[in-house]
Structure 1
Amino acid sequence: MKTDVLQFLILLVSGLFSVVTGFILDLAITNQSFKSIEGLVALIPALMGLKGNLEITMASRMSTLFNIRYDSVSWKEVTIEIVNDMVLVQSQATVVSIIAAIYIIVTKGLWHTNKIITICTLSILTSNSTCLGLGLLISLIIIATKNFGHDPDDFSGPVASSMGDLVTVLVIICFAFLLKITHKVDELPIEAITAVFFFLILEPILLYLSFKNSTTRHILLYGWTPIIVSMIISETSGLLLEKASHKYKSFILFQPLFNGFIGNCVAIQASRIATSLHRMGDIGTVSHDFDVCVSPYYVFCSKKNVNSRTTCVLIVSAIPCKILFILLITITDFMGTSLLILLYYLLGILGDINAVPIVL
């Protein structure tokens, strides 16, 4: 019972972070200086998606490690694992941010030199800064939760998701306004370009260190496809967001919740399932007792499924949490929220509820 209440509170707090992110993003996008940077609105979902593609994956790996080997590893080994994971994520962040910038430049037709440099600069600086900060935060949270006797699977994913959105939006806003304040329209941002070159020079070193390490080599070689595909999906949603923001005034307020809340639920469930699979055997082997196709009864009610109770808690928590968030956003926005947006969001609850068990 204590774990159920804790999971509910985690979802509630992480959802509130998403609400705050929505308001900050709405204030930024309505600012004329922010809107004047072409392609920036479309780039934001891709950069926010990096926390799902990289940080949540890192959080799941580290949570599984702590749950399985916590009593048998020393602090030195823990530190080494954290450093190895952060080096891997940092190397992936640079590559994915460059691809994201190129995608926006091509789809938006931003062929002017200054526009290309601005988008590339914001993409690379934001992704690297947020990955470094969130990587350290996730590591500390996992260590603290395990020391206090809680399951890191319940904490690390939602924190990486909700905090990742908030930190990403704040960082990209800061960098965007710094570029607008410190440089004229036709002036090249020399300081920002220097920082970008630093990360580009650092990238081969990070890739070499990740390849040299046996625990991260396989991920470095074969883990790019899902990351790049999910990034392209996020980029496409960014282009849709840019168009929707012109038509529906309150759409931006709900965007972090559209994507964030179900991400928090799935992060908890997926991380728990990954831990369960690792406990059954080594990578590449599956226990004979494990069934790929299972019944709804097994998913929600079976005592043989160690994650069935978590599934029910997440589903039951979704409706009251989302209703609370709708009321909070609507009241705070002085009842200016479009009824059509509210309808879409309420329908999205049903999609979120149905999506959680799919990860099983």
Structure 2
Amino acid sequence: MSNRTGTLKPFCRPLPNTMAVPKSSDKNLSLTHGQQYGSNPALSQLSGRLQLSNSNGNLSPDSVTPVSQEFTESDALLPRKLSGSRPKDAEGSGGHEESMCSLLRQILLPFLLAGLGTVSAGILLEIVQGWDVFQEFTELFILVPAVLGMKGNLEMTLAARLSTAVNAGRMDSTREKWMLIVGNLALKQLQATVLGLLASLVVTLLDWIAEGRMPLNHLVLLCSTSLCAAFMASLLQGIVMVGVIIGSKRMGINPDNIATLMAACFGDLFTLALLVCFSQWCYSLMELYPYVLYLVDLLHICLIPVWMRVASKHPESHILLRSGWEPIITAMVISSVGRLILDKTVSDENLVGIVVYAPVINGVGGNLVSIQASRISTHLHLNYSPREIPDSHKSCFNLCHTFVGTGSNQRSARVLLLLVLPGQLIFLHIIHLMKGGLTLPSPLFIVFFLSISLIQVFSLLCIADWMVHCLWQRSKDPDSYSIPYLTALGDLLGTALLSLSFLLLWCIGDPGGV
């Protein structure tokens, strides 16, 4: 009889060829083309999946659970620490080291395009504000920023989640890739429908409180416009974002550097254009065929169970069906405070010029901080288990640690901060040209504007470094939680600082940016 001592003898038999398990000697797994930031997660799970069939250490092929099946059905619920050696420094990327020049090349063009999209959205709103539908249904001016902010959060969180999935190697399998894509797109359609309906109801309530009345046809038009614009923009932009993510992977570009910026580039202008078109369409049907608007609202509401069913097919999106509402709804509340500050400032005719510059400072701050949040989140997914954070973040938070160091996150923070001044100067010049070149911001206003932009982005980058690690320590996925909070805080901080600057310039008699 064999000697049973309670410990298993190491087995020496080679693994059968039929088992889909990587060899234990493959310490450095080869990476597919374009995947420079992650490694195969199956190796780190190998020890827990091999079951010995008897006490002699013999391995039975029937006793081994298929790696791909168990990984896709259970391990995708929470982020995982991947196999391979951990980076030497606490903030290293754990893979391909990106230089500051490489980061700048990847970020610069999408950053400029995103800024142009924000400026163009402001110009478009200025053009259509004289249309009959905007004159008769003035509630649309309150609905526009609510829908734009909501859509921006949905697009950026989708971009961050898919970027992390690409870097973690979870989109190498065709089946897993399309399950992940379809689940996230269905989740985004559900969120866009619910939040579009919620935004229209909130706007209706605010207008009822202010005016003391709300005609039924106003409510129907707001709901139809919001639902149609949010639904169509979410669908088309979601497809575009999937193409951007897959294309960046094939080209060997880190999607964390460009995905959120491309979402912002397409987001504001495209969503506003759809909102304007659907509002005019609903306005044209209001008198002759009002029942069509009721049918449109009913159709979108009936599609909600369909999106829930599809989204629940994938474990990750199934979890977000329950936990993904808190950050985007909270972000809407925080952004509302910023809009309240802006409304109070605009009510003073001496400070009306702030309307032109508020979208620029808020857009730039939100775009830059979303890149950093996405990169830190990917770093944690690739190198640490849930609730496990780097040693540098276990003690009191140090502001200097966000920018000082040799890690990839510190390098990206420095690059993003360096982009603020030249980027804002370019956008100020574009605003000057789009206004016909008739007015020129005063030198003192330019100094104030650049200073508050630096303060805003510096503060947001520090908050992002702290917030993402805190969310990870509490087993919350930063890709879904951090970006809505950070963009909402960026709107609040940027609007407050810009209002203060205009007030100071008015007090000293400077013409400012008007």
Q: How does the TM-score come out when normalised to structure 2?
A: 0.64
Q: Which residue number corresponds to residue 268 of structure 2?
A: 165
Which residue is equivalent to 1:224? 325
Cα distance in 2 for residues equivalent to 1:237 and 1:272:
27
Cα deviation, residue 199, structure 1: 1.2
Structure 2 CA distance for partners of 1:301 and 1:290, relative to 1, 3 Å? closer
Residue 337 of structure 1: how far off its partner (Å): 7.0
Question: Take 2:359 and 2:290, find their aligned partners in 1: how far apart are those partners?
Answer: 30
Corresponding residue of 1:306: 408
Structure 2 counterpart of 1:191, which letter?
V
Greater relative CO, 1 or 2 (CA 8 Å, sep 6+): 1
Deviation of the 1:330 alpha carbon: 1.7
Find 1:67's aligned residue among 137, 158, 167. Answer: 167
In structure 2, the residue matched to 1:133 is 236
1:179 Cα offset (Å): 2.3
Decide which structure has greater helix share: 1
Could you say if the C-alpha distance between residues 203 and 344 of structure 1 is closer, same or farther in structure 2, counting changes exceeding 3 Å? farther
What's the secondary structure of 1:286's corresponding residue?
Answer: coil
1:188–1:102 Cα change, 3 Å: farther
In 1, the alpha carbon distance for the partners of 2:340 and 2:400 equals 40
Give, in angstroms, the shift of residue 252 of structure 1: 3.9
Q: Deviations over 1:170-221 (max 9, x none)?
A: 000111122233443xx56333332221111010221233345321122111
Deviation (angstroms), 1:227: 1.2
What percent of counterpart residues are identical? 28
Question: Aligned pair 1:273/2:360, yes or no?
Answer: no
Q: Is the 8 A contact 2:148 2:271 kept in 1?
A: yes
User: Residues of 1 paired with 2:441 and 2:343: CA distance?
Assistant: 17
CA RMSD of aligned residues (A): 2.5
Deviation at 1:285, TM superposition (A): 3.1
**Residues 118-170 of structure 1: CA deviation (Å, up to 9, x unaligned):** 11111111111111111101000000011000000111101112311111110
Counterparts of 1:322 and 1:5, CA distance in 2: 18
Residue 264 and residue 170 in structure 1: after superposition, are their counterparts in 2 closer, same or farther (change >3 A)? same
Aligned mate of 2:116, from 16, 22, 26: 16
Distance 1:171 1:230, change over 3 A: same
Q: Corresponding residue for 2:141?
A: 41
- 1:121 and 2:220 equivalent? no
Aligned-pair CA distance for 1:2? 2.7
Shift in Å, 1:240: 5.3
| Structure 1 residues 259 and 280: CA distance shift in structure 2, 3 A | same
**Matched-pair contact (CA < 8 Å) for 1:280–1:287:** no
Aligned length, in residue pairs: 355
1:206-245 aligned within 5 A: 206-238=307-339, 241=342
- Per mean C-alpha deviation after superposition, the further-off stretch among 93-102 and 328-337 is 328-337
| Alignment partner of 1:77 is 2:176 | yes
Letter in 1 for 2:202: Y
For 1:251 and 1:53, locate their aligned partners in 2 and report how far apart those are by CA, in whole Å.
Answer: 24
> Residues 26-55 of structure 1: CA distance to partner in whole angstroms, max 9, x if unpaired?
112243432321311111111111233211
TM-score, normalised relative to structure 1:
0.90
Task: Report whether the alignment pairs 1:319 with 2:421.
Answer: yes
Which AA in structure 2 matches 1:40? L
Task: Supply the distance in 2 between the matched residues of 1:290 and 1:132 (Cα, whole angstroms).
Answer: 41
Give the counterpart letter for 2:175 in structure 1: K
Q: Does 1:197 align with 2:298?
A: yes
Do the aligned residues in 1 keep the contact of 2:420 with 2:454 (CA within 8 Å)? Answer: no
- Cα distance between partner residues in 2 of 1:129 and 1:245: 31
Given that residues 84 and 210 in structure 1 are in contact (C-alpha distance below 8 angstroms), is that contact kept between their aligned partners in structure 2? Answer: yes
**Structure 1: any 5+ residue segments left out of the alignment?**
none
Q: Tell me if the contact between 1:315 and 1:353 (Cα under 8 Å) persists in the aligned partners.
A: yes
Query: Which amino acid is the alignment partner of residue 22 of structure 1?
Result: G
Residues 58-101 of structure 1 deviation map (CA, whole Å, 9 limit, x = unaligned): 1100000001115x722232122110000111111111112211
Does the 8 Å CA contact 2:122/2:359 hold for their aligned counterparts? yes
8 Å contact kept, 2:217–2:286: no
Larger radius of gyration, structure 1 or 2? 2
Aligned to 2:430: 328
Q: Distance in 2 between matches of 1:188 and 1:336?
A: 46
Note if 1:357 corresponds to 2:436: no
Superposed displacement of residue 313, structure 1 = 0.7
Q: Structure 1's 17 and 317: CA in aligned 2 closer, same or farther, altered over 3 A?
A: same
The partner residue of 1:289 within 391, 406, 423 is 391
SS where residue 307 of structure 1 aligns?
Answer: helix
- The CA distance in 2 between the partners of 1:288 and 1:6, in whole Å, is 27
